[in-house]
A and B are shown apart, each in its own frame.
Chain A
Amino acid sequence: MEASFGVSSAAAANAVNSPALSPPSLPFIRSEARPISWRVDKSRKAGKITTKAVAAQAENPASAASKPGHEVLLFEALREGLEEEMERDPRVCIFGEDVGHYGGSYKVSKGLADKYGDLRVLDTPIAENSFTGMAVGAAMTGLRPVVEGMNMGFLLLAFNQISDNCGMLHYTSGGQFTIPTVIRGPGGVGRQLGAEHSQRLESYFQSIPGIQMVACSTPYNAKGLMKAAIRSENPVVLFEHVLLYNLKERIPDEEYVVSLEEAEMVRPGEHVTILTYSRMRYHVMQAAKTLVNKGYDPEVIDIRSLKPFDLYTIGNSIKKTHKVLIVEECMRTGGIGASLTAAINENFNDYLDAPIVCLSSQDVPTPYAGTLEEWTVVQPGQIVTAVEQLCR
């Protein structure tokens, strides 16, 4: 396996069957590992707070020769990532319902079946457990499948295969077989999609040993995470959000991957650390606007890696601000926030001036009615109030 961790080199592990596929050198973004002092950039603090995803890019210390790049929507960024990986490695294939001829329910795989054929972009029958198991079997025998759950909620039907086979087989086989699958799909609370289409599975999957979980939130990190997940030898669950697919951002023309294990600094600050992921990032940034106007200076971190947590980035922030607010869309009970709270308390208890505040969704099945749905998830107003209370 990889001998050098944390070194600025391409993340791709060696191909199992095709030694000819050596990874080209890419700008490997390992921004958050740098010391804090780097981030304090006075020109940015007072003000360029924006809820648009562009903020993420502004922080990005990408290549020195930064080209203008091109604008994409998030689902297009995902598709670019998929396509580039499929082009690069002929063993990458996609399994899922309506991924082929239909182009994916959110158009993430649009056009790929035309380009790569019906076997590489496989339209499966409606049998989540079985086609996820198929992906495991294919991965064990040398392919690199990307499994799409048409909605993340459907993957509950595949829980058996995800937990027992994706997660465990590498271990129970004594390391003989690797399962380099990516399991992805749209999840989260949408616009009145009803309870079953509005599930947040990150809390259900997080305890499974042997899998990694990441959540994308901007076109930039969506493409980077997709590529990194495909290249990873571990099974990775990539959480996308139904409401974020049409976000627009300018992303680099040149190839890049982002780290699966690192968090993303969205907005540096001094007063409070706000940890969030996926759609709630935007609620947080909206609240941040209000907070800045009120004189607060929140530091916003998109944790991106839901399992494992990037305790370095998070820890450095806590050491600076001493106050933590977690904002998530997960349910309160046993959610990502709950785990994060525990991890922070264990590791950084000494640095905390106040108990950690965790804002999660209500523990209710997402109601259909718009008003009720709104009250189920965390809204910017609540975030502002929480910060005000924390920073009192």
Chain B
Amino acid sequence: MACSATAKIIHNPLVLSSSRSAEKYESCCKISGPSSLLGSKFLGKKLLSAKSAISLASRRSGAVVAVSSDVVKEKKVKSGSSAASNLLITKEEGLVLYEDMYLGRAFEDMCAQMYYRGKMFGFVHLYNGQEAVSTGFIKLLKQEDCVVSTYRDHVHSLSKGVPARQVMSELFGKTTGCCRGQGGSMHMFSKEHNVLGGFAFIGEGIPVATGAAFTSKYKREVLKEDCDEVTLAFFGDGTCNNGQFFECLNMAALWKLPIVFVVENNLWAIGMSHLRSTSDPQIWKKGPAFGMPGVHVDGMDVLKVREVAQEAIGRARRGEGPTLVECETYRFRGHSLADPDELRDPAEKARYATRDPITALKKYLFENNLANEAELKAVDKKIDEIIEDSVEFADASPVPARNQLLENVFADPRGFGIGPDGKYRCEDPKFTEGTAQV
């Protein structure tokens, strides 16, 4: 595993080069879609024979294929940059990625602490270990682009730009939270940063994401606005057996919606192993079945994720349609803070722990002289302070008052109807006190 220049990605069925007869892929080479699916030929020419880089025999039926580093170098050289950039990122980009991943990790660790101290309640699902997916994708987005997530949404919100204070406050159930304390851990929303939730039922958010992508297309084609907004839908392996997933793959491909379906395959849906619940565990294959590219990427490696994300997001922006990206990742903690996490094999956990995305990026930054220890320590310190501040802020914030109870049920509060006295219920002074009978 590496964040090295020998980018060992990816089963990439997008590649149409005939030299790609690496039979390990079996049917994955059959792509149903336009030939310039990638829009560029960068991932492409030479493939070495497949090496089982990771011993996935027991879990994944396909092998990871090593792609020649020439391909990556080729791309960089083409873009005419300086000699030092046969690297995948610049120093600035590297620091941004590192900071974002560290923010996610530190935040989630703090959540665990706060939960056990009784500051937050209910179901809290932590993202430790999966940071590369969130950072790899979301840091490529603009503010107007939309992100839809599941209940494991703290880090997606943070990556998208929602201030840590607002997220922490929301978790504490305070009125200064991003959803005024009304959503909670599983329902993070931000209109400013276009985070469309935060959904507790898996699969529920995918149609919402499809709708947001539809709006983007509608704005462009009906309202004739200059709109190239893209939507990312994040969800897990368990969701990929859900009807809404398939229905939305169909519609997104049918109408060429600007959406990327990002599967965070961490192999486990609470205690249900992906392999026990799925007839064909290779989720990326389901993309071509609906007429869109399906890509598999090492989700513990932020640079690989970022590369794939760039292409997928680029496709969407150019109006070429959706992409299904399966990120192989892992959650270091249990499903939620209430999960004792006894089913997973400690050896499996240990194996993935060695692939910690933050450690990997650090290593890459050091090895390629993009940053030194001191700089990263400074970032750590900055983030730690932000987290501390967010906790203090959340602690100091007020709990919602009674008058907040009935607000926001309806955008137009006339929806509460007309009372016996002929006035709208919302005109009742008790309404603003939250004690009205509705």
Binding site for B on A (CB under 8 A): 1-2, 5-6, 13, 33, 90-91, 93, 117, 119-120, 124-125, 127, 129-143, 145, 160-161, 164-165, 169-180, 209-210, 212, 232-234, 260-262, 305, 307-313, 315, 347-348
Contact = CB atoms under 8 A, between A and B. Distances in A.
B187 interface: yes
B204 A212 contact: no
30 contacts: A5-B414, A13-B412, A33-B418, A33-B422, A90-B223, A93-B218, A119-B221, A124-B251, A127-B247, A130-B251, A133-B207, A133-B211, A137-B207, A137-B212, A137-B214, A138-B214, A141-B211, A143-B215, A160-B204, A170-B410, A172-B179, A176-B189, A177-B191, A210-B409, A233-B411, A233-B412, A308-B417, A310-B418, A312-B421, A347-B420
B211 A137 contact: yes
A1 to B, nearest CB: 6
B177 A174 contact: yes
A137 B215 contact: yes
B422 A174 contact: no
Interface in B145-179: 146, 148, 177-179
Contacts of B187: 172-173
B420 A174 contact: no
Given A93-B218, A124-B251, A261-B418, 14 more contacts: A2-B412, A2-B414, A117-B222, A127-B243, A127-B247, A134-B251, A135-B211, A172-B198, A174-B177, A174-B183, A233-B411, A261-B414, A308-B418, A313-B418
B92 to A, nearest CB: 31
Nearest to B413: A1
A300 B183 CA distance: 43
Contacts of B183: 172-174
A165 B417 contact: no
Closest 4 CB pairs of A and B: A137-B211, A133-B207, A308-B417, A174-B180
Interface in B247-265: 247-248, 250-251, 254
B402 interface: no
Given A129-B243, A133-B211, A174-B182, A141 B177 contact: no
A130 B215 contact: no
Contacts of A91: 223
Interface in B404-438: 407-427, 438
Contacts of A127: 243, 247, 250-251
A229 to B, nearest CB: 11
A165 to B, nearest CB: 6
Interface in B351-377: none
A312 B420 contact: yes
B244 interface: yes
Nearest to A5: B424
Contacts of A175: 180, 407-408, 411
A180 B424 contact: no
B206 interface: yes
Nearest to A307: B417
Contacts of A313: 418
A131 B206 CA distance: 10
A327 to B, nearest CB: 21
B183 to A, nearest CB: 4
Interface of B: 146, 148, 177-184, 187, 189-191, 196-201, 204, 206-219, 221-223, 243-244, 247-248, 250-251, 254, 407-427, 438
Contacts, number: 212
A176 B411 CA distance: 9
B347 to A, nearest CB: 38
A130 B244 contact: yes
B222 A90 contact: yes
Nearest to B208: A137
Contacts of B197: 169, 172-173
B332 to A, nearest CB: 28
A19 to B, nearest CB: 15
Contact of B217 (A5, A119, A173, A260): A119
Nearest to A145: B211
A129 B208 contact: no
Contacts of B181: 174
Contacts of B196: 137, 140-141, 177
Contacts of A129: 207, 243-244, 247
Contacts of A135: 211
B211 A136 contact: yes
A171 B182 contact: yes
Given A176-B191, A261-B417, A210 B222 contact: no
A137 B424 contact: no
Contacts of A347: 420
Contacts of A209: 409
B410 A174 contact: no
A262 B210 contact: no
A136 B244 CA distance: 14
Contacts of B146: 141
B207 A170 contact: no
A57 to B, nearest CB: 23
A175 B183 CA distance: 10
B424 A173 contact: no
Contact of A120 (B179, B222, B248, B407): B222
Given A234-B415, A308-B417, A141 B215 contact: yes
Given A134-B207, A172-B182, A315-B420, A125 B201 contact: no
A171 B214 contact: no
Given A137-B210, A138-B212, A130 B418 contact: no
A234 B420 contact: no
Given A173-B189, A261-B415, A308-B417, A137 B209 contact: yes
A172 B415 CA distance: 17
A117 B214 CA distance: 15
Contacts of B213: 137
Contacts of B411: 1, 13, 170, 175, 178-180, 233-234
A136 B250 contact: no
B177 to A, nearest CB: 7
B353 to A, nearest CB: 35
A174 B184 CA distance: 10
A6 B189 contact: no
A119 B417 CA distance: 34
Nearest to B424: A5
Contacts of B207: 129-134, 136-137, 161
